[in-house]
Amino acid sequence: MTATNSAADSQDVIVIENLNKWYGNFHVLRDINLKVKKGERIVICGPSGSGKSTTIRCINRLEEFQEGSLVVDGVEMIEDVKNIEKIRRDVGMVFQHFNLFPHLTILENLTLGPIWVQKKPKAEAEEIAMKYLERVKIPDQADKYPGQLSGGQQQRVAIARSLCMNPNIMLFDEPTSALDPEMIKEVLDVMVELAEEGMTMLCVTHEMGFAKKVADRVIFMDAGQIVEENEPNEFFNNPQNERTKLFLSQILGH
Amino acid sequence: MKEFQPIAARQAPIKTVGFTAWLRDNLFSSIPNSVVTLSVIALLAYYLPLVFDWVFWSANFTGTTEDACVKEGACWVFINAWSYQFFYGTYPVEEVWRINLTLVLLVMVIAASFTLPKSIRLKASITSWLLLPIVGIAILDGRWLGLEVVSTDLWGGFTLNVFMAAASIIVAFPFSFLWALGRRSEMPFIRSVSVIFIEFFRGVPVLSLFFMGSVMLPLFFAEGTNVDKLIRVWLVLIFFMSGYMAEVFRGGFQAVPSGQYEAADSIGLSYWQKILLIILPQVIKVSMPNILATFVMLFKNTTFLLIIGIPEVVQTLQTALSNSYWLGGHALEGYLFVFLVFWGSCFSMSVLARRIERQMNTDKRD
């Protein structure tokens, strides 16, 4: 562990320092530095291929990186599998394509982690699962299979599945990009509620309304680096970088 | 403001449904199509009565010897007289309950995999499937249970085909899954061993494997050890089957989206939890049609065992055909019987597989 890490604010739950990643010879992440405080809500935006998904996927080690350091909840990410699994239990993730397990019912999708990873008894796991299904407002779908639910419902189940593991940090990887317009709102509502309860959140999203409403900080990435970060008001009304201005004019222009 | 009014659903026009519509669409949709339909009907009208006459009207059903076959139709007396051997080989008659018991156990394990309560179904059926070959051998052979020992030389007939196929499939199934996993492994040693194994057993004719099993394999065993011929053939069938099945599973693995692995990782499942709880069920689901095809292929391949002198059903039939009391030329009846028995078994397997597919299909909205 480096000196800067130990000097980091104890409130920081994620500390990324000089993170570099290559796919073969392609330099996808370049000198990423990012600190996230407990309870902070961060929105990451940027054009496709800018490395925003890759960045948050590094946090729970779905992606490996070659240089730099990454500390989550005080645990440094190294090759050790134990650390990886420990961090994955602490960090929930919601995917663009939901990735529910199609051969399991909604309830089984939710209880899988608590039963197999946290070794909770089945009854307790089901109780927890029903609590979160109620929170995302679909307790009546518990015995159905993912294929029988609408996209919005599936994404809410995916959020509930992550919450069942009682994570300290939630990562959202374009959670509404695969949804019909009418279903985006129901998912965003759940996310806003979660934010209001003080969950530490990192969201890769292009829902600028969501960013303005809940984000503490908005980060703009392009070409594998962080171009600009600021609190939302400043970010949208007074972008400092030309590249940010161009991006904002393109997505807010119509 | 106007209120949105959905239009009520109506019945489909009569022209597109019903029997006559089906006839017109499928059999008489054009002039060439009608000609083909009519010619097929004419052919059937000519040949079917001849076939029926041979099989039923002028066939011989009663009697116990060749002499009973006086009518010019099929001599089913032949099948009847040899039916014991066709099914049980030369297994002692007073011990034949052991074969029947093993068959009943096989059917029970299959049935249990569908009917047990869902909470214990998976564990109970996997355990009973894996125990079945051992229990089966114990019952048929008898020495572990204190029963009279029946030498494997006496095992034979169609039940031997069934047992060889079932025992090989059951053991090969988990192995082939491991081979397929090995082939996807990132560790070069495991991957190359898997690739060599799979490609060897897929690339070599099964007949030559049987010869290797019966002639060459004993050379590798220590001096003085005598491994039973059926066990050697069983090993060959297991290797052959797992090579094929590994490729079937590999196709299945490729059909599972990477998001499934990521989701399993993200909730902190370990590697084996991820593979067994999340990936394997989905692999089996997409591979079901190919798994069945491989099963059927292996089951039918058990008839090749006659080449190395194992008295399975076709070998028994040939013995019967060359018996000096039955020289009336009953090959047609005999082979028809074998066709029927195999077709019946394979068709039941298809029906079963379709049921499994339906059960596993969770995509449909209800």
pLDDT digits (tens, 9 = 90+) for B8-37: 888 777 666 678 888 888 888 889 999 999
Contact A148 B366 (CB under 8 A): yes
Residue B132 clears pLDDT 90, i.e. is over it: yes
Alpha carbon of B224 to those of B31, B141, B218, B233, B234: distances in Å? 74, 22, 10, 19, 21
Helix (H, G, I), strand (E, B) or coil at A36: strand
Nearest CB to A85; choose among B257, B268, B363: B268
Alpha carbon of B268 to those of A118, A245, B274: distances in Å? 9, 39, 9
DSSP class of B70: -
Residue B256 clears pLDDT 70, i.e. is over it: yes
| Average pLDDT for chain A | 87
Average pLDDT on A84-113 reads 90
Residue B250 clears pLDDT 50, i.e. is over it: yes
Minimum Cα–Cα distance from B286: chain A residue: A103
Band (pLDDT 50/70/90 cuts) for residue B366 is very low
Band (pLDDT 50/70/90 cuts) for residue A110 is very high
Q: Which of B120, B266, B363 to mutate to test the interface with A (most CBs of A within 10 A)?
A: B266
Contact A99 B268 (CB under 8 A): no
pLDDT at B364: 58
| C-alpha–C-alpha distance, residues B198 and B200, integer Å | 5
| C-alpha–C-alpha distance, residues A158 and A152, integer Å | 10
pLDDT at B330: 86
Contact A117 B366 (CB under 8 A): no
Can you say how many angstroms the Cα of residue B143 is from the centroid of all Cα atoms in its chain? 29
pLDDT at B365: 46
Do residues B334 and B79 make contact, with C-beta atoms less than 8 angstroms apart? yes
Size of interface A-B (CB pairs under 8 A): 74
Nearest CB to A99; choose among B260, B269, B363: B260
pLDDT at A92: 92
Contact A165 B268 (CB under 8 A): yes
Contact B262 A148 (CB under 8 A): no
The answer, for A97 touching chain B at a CB cutoff of 8 Å, is yes
Contact B362 A102 (CB under 8 A): yes
Please give the helix or strand (H or E) that residue A29 lies within, else none: strand A26-37
Which residues, 6+ apart, have CB-to-CB distance to B112 below 8 Å?
B121, B124, B125, B128
Which residues, 6+ apart, have CB-to-CB distance to B249 below 8 Å?
B176, B177, B179, B180, B283, B287
Convert the pLDDT of each residue in B295-319 to its tens digit: 999 999 999 989 888 899 999 999 9
Residues of B within 8 A of A95 (CB-CB) are: 259, 262-263, 266
Distance from CA of A197 to the nearest CA of B (A): 21
Minimum Cα–Cα distance from B360: chain A residue: A103
Nearest CB to A102; choose among B262, B363, B365: B363
Helix (H, G, I), strand (E, B) or coil at B16: helix
Residue B211 clears pLDDT 60, i.e. is over it: yes
Minimum Cα–Cα distance from B266: chain A residue: A88
Convert the pLDDT of each residue in A195-240 to its tens digit: 888 899 999 998 888 888 889 999 999 989 999 999 988 898 888 8
Residues of B within 8 A of A158 (CB-CB) are: 263
| C-alpha–C-alpha distance, residues A193 and A199, integer Å | 9
| C-alpha–C-alpha distance, residues B231 and B153, integer Å | 12
Residues of A within 8 A of B264 (CB-CB) are: 101
Minimum Cα–Cα distance from A118: chain B residue: B268
Band (pLDDT 50/70/90 cuts) for residue A1 is very low
The answer, for B364 touching chain A at a CB cutoff of 8 Å, is yes
pLDDT: which is higher, B339 or B366: B339
Nearest CB to A147; choose among B266, B278, B364: B364
Residues of A within 8 A of B260 (CB-CB) are: 99, 101
Distance from CA of B115 to the nearest CA of A (A): 19
| C-alpha–C-alpha distance, residues A157 and A141, integer Å | 9
The answer, for B268 touching chain A at a CB cutoff of 8 Å, is yes
The answer, for A205 touching chain B at a CB cutoff of 8 Å, is no
Band (pLDDT 50/70/90 cuts) for residue A5 is very low
Neighbours of B48 (CB within 10 A): 10
Distance from CA of A138 to the nearest CA of B (A): 16
pLDDT at A3: 40
Contact A88 B282 (CB under 8 A): no
Minimum Cα–Cα distance from A170: chain B residue: B266
Minimum Cα–Cα distance from A114: chain B residue: B267
Task: State ipTM.
Answer: 0.89
Minimum Cα–Cα distance from B359: chain A residue: A103
Nearest CB to B266; choose among A60, A146, A147: A60
Please give the helix or strand (H or E) that residue B141 lies within, else none: helix B118-141
Alpha carbon of B255 to those of A20, A99, B178, B249: distances in Å? 32, 14, 17, 10
The answer, for B359 touching chain A at a CB cutoff of 8 Å, is no
Convert the pLDDT of each residue in A137-163 to its tens digit: 889 999 999 999 999 999 999 999 999
Residue B101 clears pLDDT 90, i.e. is over it: yes
